[in-house]
Amino acid sequence: MTRFATSADGTEIAYSTTGSGPALVLVDGAMCHRMFGPSTELASVLDKDFTVHTYDRRGRGETGDGASPWSVEREVEDVDAVIKAAGGSAFVFGVSSGAVLAMEAASRLAGISALALYEAPFVVDGTYRPRPADIVQQMNAMLARGDRSGMISTFMKMVGVPAFGLAIMKLTPVWKKLKPVAHTLPWDLAILGDDGRGEKLPAGRWAVKVPTLAMDGGKSPEYLRNAMRNVAEVLGADHKTLPGQTHMYKSSVVAPELVEFFSRAQRTAGPIA
């Protein structure tokens, strides 16, 4: 059943709740939402240990584009609204660009008790080509022309999808599901900021003071694994590489890691709502 939490600017954030136990909020990556992406399946595995809250980020699913213009601050307020609906305190797990949003939220919100991250798509060295400095402007220009397919193609090429894979994808129902949320791509890229230029992450960018776990997949590209090691360094976080996993992780593998980490964090800090 869909519920709604009201964000600070009045935007109604659609979310779902399943399970029982400590509250856990899942933050999706680019173009994903409750009906498209890994969060709902992951929630179904985690709900034996947590009360899991999945939500549609702005511009996706049953959440509208927002009552005010998009900004990172508005998305952080959306996370806050879901946490408040969850009782005011929650664990948070963010994936891909959602991991970066989760880091931003944990830097600004008091309601996050512990943080887990999976493969924030930073480029911190020379193992992958840097993102174009004007990628957000490129995306916005395509959006202004109504070229949503061009936006998705540009994004997919940028993250390493080969030409033949992209050609096949365009023929599948997945493409039709991506086009309605293509306008959110500039937002996710803006959340990443300049941390895609092949340089180490700035030590003072995030003020995360809660227990944090940074994860990556053993079969993921080297640049993603290097990025998460760098995230662990700047946040003072635990780091773990999950053997056999890629950016498209298996819930059956990630879930036990989250249960172990968050349970340990709870034992250390005491019970949360």
Q: How confident is the model at residue 194 (pLDDT cuts 50, 70, 90)?
A: confident
119 and 211 within one domain: yes
Position with higher pLDDT, 50 vs 271: 50
Name the domain boundary from 175, 190, 205.
190
- Written as six digits, the tokens of 154 are 């540009």
Q: How confident is the model at residue 272 (pLDDT cuts 50, 70, 90)?
A: very low
| CATH number assigned to the domain comprising residue 102 | 3.40.50.1820
200 and 85 within one domain: yes
Chain Cα centroid distance, residue 222 = 19
Mean pLDDT, residues 110-126: 97
Q: How confident is the model at residue 171 (pLDDT cuts 50, 70, 90)?
A: very high
94 and 71 within one domain: yes
Q: How confident is the model at residue 266 (pLDDT cuts 50, 70, 90)?
A: confident
Is a pLDDT exceeding 80 seen at residue 271? no
219 and 108 within one domain: yes
199 and 186 within one domain: no
Residue 128 domain-assigned (yes or no):
no
What digits encode the pLDDT tens for the residues 9-63?
Answer: 999 999 999 999 999 999 999 999 999 999 999 999 999 999 999 999 999 999 9
Our count of domains for the chain comes to: 2
Calculate what percentage of the chain has a pLDDT beyond 70.
98
Is a pLDDT exceeding 80 seen at residue 198? yes
263 and 213 within one domain: yes
Residue 129 domain-assigned (yes or no):
no
* Mean confidence (pLDDT) of the chain: 95
CA nearest neighbour of 81 among 61, 104, 105:
105
201 and 173 within one domain: no
Mean pLDDT, residues 176-199: 94
Calculate what percentage of the chain has a pLDDT beyond 90.
94
Is a pLDDT exceeding 80 seen at residue 273? no
Is a pLDDT exceeding 90 seen at residue 269? no
Domain of residue 260 covers 3-123+195-269
Task: Give pTM, 2 decimals.
Answer: 0.96
pLDDT for residue 270: 56
For residue 29, the number of C-alpha atoms closer than 13 Å in the C-beta half-sphere is 17
